[in-house]
Amino acid sequence: MEEMPTTAGSSRDKIDFQIRKTVNFITLCLLSVFYFLNYTVAALISTQLHHPRRSQMKDQEGVIKYQLNHTQQPIPPLCSLTEINAWRTIAVRLDLIGQSPKRYNNIGFGNISQRINPNSNQFIISGTQTGHIEHLNPEHYCLIVKAEPHQNRLQSCGLCKPSSESLTHASIYAQNNAVQAVIHAHSPEIWKHTVALGLAHTTADIPYGTVEMATAVKRLFQSGNLTQTSLFTMLGHEDGVIAFGRNMQEAAWELINCLSLAIGIEQQCINR
């Protein structure tokens, strides 16, 4: 009499198949989680390098970080303040310089400077925390008597202390004797479109008003990235933009022209 075929082998094969199927599924899930986490971490790192979180930068806004030897006395009448004051007022009205409860914890932002004459390393700069004043008087300006950016030292005089960005201004003047004016503005439009506008920039790990920033500015000039433009952004300084020129009008026009291009990009995005 023939024996009936056993089902033990068939059942075992089915169980093995289900086990392999389950293991493959779990492996696939683990790989998916791994690649997702890997991509997320990489994206976060990239974002922090190129677009630092605003909350990380607000607590440092407006703080003087360099060694300052300041003499409290009126600045000598070495040059007229009429032009620098006029362009600064325009920058204030354009919200490129100023103070607002809605921005940077209501701390003043932006500053402006000019050489006292074409052959001098000394320059006049707006005082620290004067952003809330639309039209400055002589007591709101400061004279940088001597600057040593790479030693983190400044010597100044005036009835107010110099801007926290004075070290960066000094570094720019040191790179090119033709530069006679510098404007440090805060423009969210320009800053966030740095890449789209193809702008030269210092990286997100370089804080403002430091030896590192002075060194980074020097490298920008040496790199040749500022031969076709006289403006760069500071990715480690929220909304920070620097424009410079052979005179105040040239620096201001470079800034305003770049702002118009940045606004144009935003309008194109809205109309799509």
Which CATH number does 58-271 carry?
3.40.225.10
Kindly state the tokens that stand for 16.
Answer: 């093995």
Residues 113 and 106: their CA atoms lie apart, in Å, by: 23
Antiparallel, parallel or unpaired: β 153-158 and 67-72: parallel
Contact 112, 91 (CB under 8 A): yes
Buried-exposed string 39-68: b where 16+ CB fall within 10 A, e elsewhere? eeeeeeeeeeeeebeeeebeebbbebbbeb
List, in sequence order, the alpha helices (H) in the chain. Answer: 8-50, 54-58, 82-93, 166-175, 188-192, 211-223, 248-271
Residue-wise pLDDT tens digits, 28-45: 444 444 444 443 333 333
Radius of gyration (C-alpha) of the chain in whole angstroms: 28
Q: Between these two residues, 230 and 210, which has the higher pLDDT value?
A: 230
Cβ count within 10 A of residue 248: 21
From CA 130, how far away is CA 162, in angstroms rounded? 10
CA distances from 240 to 7, 136, 160, 203, 268 (A): 77, 22, 23, 12, 23
* Residue pLDDT, tens place only, 216-231: 999 999 999 998 899 9
Question: What is the percentage of the chain residues whose pLDDT exceeds 90?
Answer: 60
- Confidence (pLDDT) at 63: 67
Average confidence score pLDDT of the chain: 82
- Structure-token pair, residue 110: 């932006």
Beta-sheet strand order (sheet of 153-158): 67-72, 153-158, 141-148, 123-126, 111-115, 181-186, 240-245, 231-234, 200-202
| Domain boundaries, given as residue ranges, for the chain | 9-50, 58-271
Residue-wise pLDDT for 73-102, tens only, equals 999 888 889 999 999 999 999 999 999 999
Given a cut of 80, whether residue 259 has pLDDT beyond it is yes
DSSP-assigned letter for residue 138: G
Q: In the structure, what pLDDT confidence band is assigned to residue 16 with cuts at 50, 70 and 90?
A: low
